[in-house]
Structure 1
């Protein structure tokens, strides 16, 4: 029984040579670092993101890398891009959905348009990609989908009224996907990073505890895939603290968060 409880929830991924990976939303930050790390391990990688100078620069960074411009909020465009990405790879072994947006927002600057944009990119964008790739993955009865969430999805934090709920929804989505896809032979992982130094987190006007580099984040993700983890959260000293805080009653949780953040 103990063996069953602690067995990997996914097939461990250690050998990347020849594996085909589609990274969606990866022109900067964690996604870009993950592309570099996978290429170094011998994977074949296609990176999709909105047209930008970063995507153009990425296109010439490695001879094995392929890029495919894509706006995940456009469901029709995603449906067309999926077979194009597959055609650029020897086989579709993994799809990583890391497209995201983040704007700090509290009640004093509550903006419905900003909230809608978060749902369109962070959540609906992920659904658009899933709708485009799940038929292929189910048909081949192998492969892996990875959803990038955030520790901000564990429980409410200040200035995260637009961002936090989308990440909470992605956590729930990934759990449901694993429940249904694991018996079919497919892997599902959920990445919940803490603070990582990216163009998005550069907007924060506070000191970010346990801040990591994108390269550190990418290595943590690869290590989690190698272990066969379902949830890959890091840095663990920070993410485990947030998990523990999430178990507190509301009164105690709010008091601690206000004291820590000054909210």
Structure 2
């Protein structure tokens, strides 16, 4: 099989990140997989020891991101694609508002992505090529009940991706934003509310791989859910809020 290049995936110790690492390796990519859990990364690497390489990382540590990127490129060569995928999310009770909890979600989801961009972008600019993908969510399209902090962090990522695309495409850097709906992972296993159009994590990984290889800006799925939420984006508040209140009671 022809080698495709080198992809760096954060949040790769479980969920979408781990599935994407396996998918990309099976498609001929060399994979630098990062996450906080060494044991899970080692188990992932065992699935394809010639193609998946483990690099432990806490994405909230700016300097650690820089060190890991240097280590990856010294050992494996230039990073062609960076998929900044690490994230946290769970149901949120606004009547028990915890500022530290809200800030933590922004620090991991948005801040971790920013740290990854800061670490990988200089090398890509120097080479005049590369691709950066950020895993946001359909929850970033609009504020959702029970998920205000998560929606806020993902909305920030989508806006960041839109701006960076305009700023960086003339420098040879492709930007992609991944906006999944409900994917069966350890994160969604904790949810206690209806999750329409749920898909398996392997299906999600295949869709992401195809989008990355095509260098699409938006990689969104499943479309039935994504386009439904996009329609909600167009509604005025006078219509949006009553609809979401009714849906929240279902």
Give the TM-score taking structure 2 as reference length. 0.95
Write the distance in 2 (CA, Å) between the matches of 1:228 and 1:66: 24
List gaps (5 residues or longer) in structure 2: none
Structure 2 contact 22–47 (Cα < 8 Å) conserved: no
Q: The residue matched to 2:178 in structure 1 has which SS?
A: strand
Write the distance in 2 (CA, Å) between the matches of 1:218 and 1:59: 17
Write the distance in 2 (CA, Å) between the matches of 1:243 and 1:171: 13
**1:47-96 deviations in Å (ceiling 9; x for gaps):** 00002432231132212210000001111111111111112323311110
Q: Deviation at 1:218?
A: 0.9
Q: Is the aligned partner of 1:22 residue 2:2?
A: no
Structure 1 contact 66–88 (Cα < 8 Å) conserved: no
Q: Which runs of 4+ in 1 moved over 3 A?
A: none
Q: The residue matched to 2:21 in structure 1 has which SS?
A: helix
Match of 1:204 among 184, 191, 197: 191
**1:168-196 deviations in Å (ceiling 9; x for gaps):** 00000001111111111111100000011
Write the distance in 1 (CA, Å) between the matches of 2:31 and 2:151: 29
Match of 2:117 among 104, 126, 130: 130
Which residue does 1:166 correspond to in 2?
153
Structure 2 contact 7–81 (Cα < 8 Å) conserved: yes
Which residue does 1:244 correspond to in 2?
231
Q: The residue matched to 2:199 in structure 1 has which SS?
A: coil
Write the distance in 2 (CA, Å) between the matches of 1:16 and 1:213: 28
Write the distance in 2 (CA, Å) between the matches of 1:56 and 1:112: 35
Superposed CA RMSD = 1.5
Q: The residue matched to 1:60 in structure 2 has which SS?
A: helix
Write the distance in 1 (CA, Å) between the matches of 2:233 and 2:2: 36
In the alignment of these two chains, the number of paired residues is 249
Structure 1 contact 18–90 (Cα < 8 Å) conserved: no
Write the distance in 1 (CA, Å) between the matches of 2:2 and 2:166: 25
Which residue does 1:106 correspond to in 2?
93
**1:110-157 deviations in Å (ceiling 9; x for gaps):** 111111110111011111111111110000001100011000000010
Which residue does 2:244 correspond to in 1?
257
Write the distance in 2 (CA, Å) between the matches of 1:233 and 1:241: 12
Matches within 5 A, 1:62-77: 62-63=48-49, 64-77=51-64
Structure 2 contact 13–37 (Cα < 8 Å) conserved: no
Q: Deviation at 1:109?
A: 2.5
Q: Deviation at 1:245?
A: 1.1
Give the TM-score taking structure 1 as reference length. 0.91
Write the distance in 2 (CA, Å) between the matches of 1:39 and 1:107: 41
Q: The residue matched to 2:53 in structure 1 has which SS?
A: strand
Structure 1 contact 103–114 (Cα < 8 Å) conserved: no
Which residue does 2:173 correspond to in 1?
186
Write the distance in 2 (CA, Å) between the matches of 1:52 and 1:203: 23
Asked which structure has the greater RCO (Cα within 8 Å, sep 6+), the reply is 1
